[in-house]
Amino acid sequence: MLLSILPLLLLAAPVWAYEGVEVENAGSLTGRVRLEGQPPAAVVTEVHKNVSVCGTTVEDRTFVVGEGGALANVVVYLAAVGVGRPIDLEAIGELDNRECRFEPHVQSLTVGQKIEIKNSDPVLHNTRTEVLGGGIGNRINLAMARAGTTIRKPIRYPGIHRLRCDAGHTWMNAYLLVFEHPYHVVTGTDGTFELDEVPPGEYTLMTWHEKLGTSETKIGVKAGELVEVPAIVLKQSQ
């Protein structure tokens, strides 16, 4: 497994357009991502704004590690896929400003889908995206002053986006990764992932973590088979 600290290059838009087709004799992938060794201690930030809503401290969620080192919030995806199952254009991502935190912390979407941004707090939040590595990206800058406010935005460009709150809640952060194909998923607390309806062929399976960078694994998918990917182990020294 080759490790890299340049995830931005791997998410660059390909020179071809993705084509959605009915995939015959599709295969699927399943596996697990885990962290090697003990995770670093979480950074705890003191809160001095809107404490009745936000609380007095907030703990960062960079490393969410479960039993056996299971690592959550890792984006697992196939690199350079040009043809595969159709994109679900009805799928909508959700991002909530809740108790002065973004929920979820990491998510992935496909170009052509939408994201619904909500403010569940009775305080002003301003959700803004930073496009990492340059490029057009999906530039979002939304002020939401009232609890219950919901705004839906289209997703038009691939890339890695970091989300911030510009209303004085400097600790708030989250990540949105956007792809031109639908073969991507975010690991949960058990560190597992699954990618379905994959056309038979040879692929590069990528992982992305906000602090650990990227990894890649060469895999082959055969018609009608479930491929169990060997455990993907990420190291803190990356």
**Predicted pLDDT of residue 236:** 87
> Please, are residues 11 and 158 in contact by the beta-carbon 8 Å criterion?
yes
At 52, give phi and psi (nearest 5°).
-65, -25
**Predicted pLDDT of residue 133:** 83
Q: Is the pLDDT of residue 6 over 50?
A: no
Tokens representing 57? 């401290």
* Longest pairwise C-alpha distance within the chain: 57
Average pLDDT over residues 211-231: 96
**Predicted pLDDT of residue 7:** 45
Average pLDDT over residues 201-207: 97
Task: Tell me the per-residue pLDDT of 73-89, one tens digit each, with 9 for 90 and over.
Answer: 999 999 989 999 999 99
**Predicted pLDDT of residue 108:** 98
Average pLDDT over residues 81-110: 97
Task: Tell me the per-residue pLDDT of 115-174, one tens digit each, with 9 for 90 and over.
Answer: 999 999 999 999 999 999 877 889 999 999 999 999 999 999 999 999 999 999 999 999
Tokens representing 98? 């809740």
Q: Catalogue all structural domains in the chain, each as residue range(s) with its CATH number.
A: 2-234 (2.60.40.420)
Q: Is the pLDDT of residue 223 over 50?
A: yes
**Predicted pLDDT of residue 178:** 97
**Predicted pLDDT of residue 15:** 42
Q: What is the DSSP string of 145-183?
A: -STTEEEEEE--S-EEEEEEE-SS-TT-EEEEEEESSS-
Q: Is the pLDDT of residue 4 over 70?
A: no
Q: How far is CA 72 from CA 51, 75, 205, in A?
A: 28, 9, 17
**Predicted pLDDT of residue 135:** 79
Bridge-based pairing state of the strands 201-209 and 192-198: unpaired
Task: Tell me the per-residue pLDDT of 18-60, one tens digit each, with 9 for 90 and over.
Answer: 999 999 999 999 999 999 999 989 899 999 999 999 999 999 9
**Predicted pLDDT of residue 228:** 97
**Whether pTM exceeds 0.85:** yes
**Predicted pLDDT of residue 18:** 95
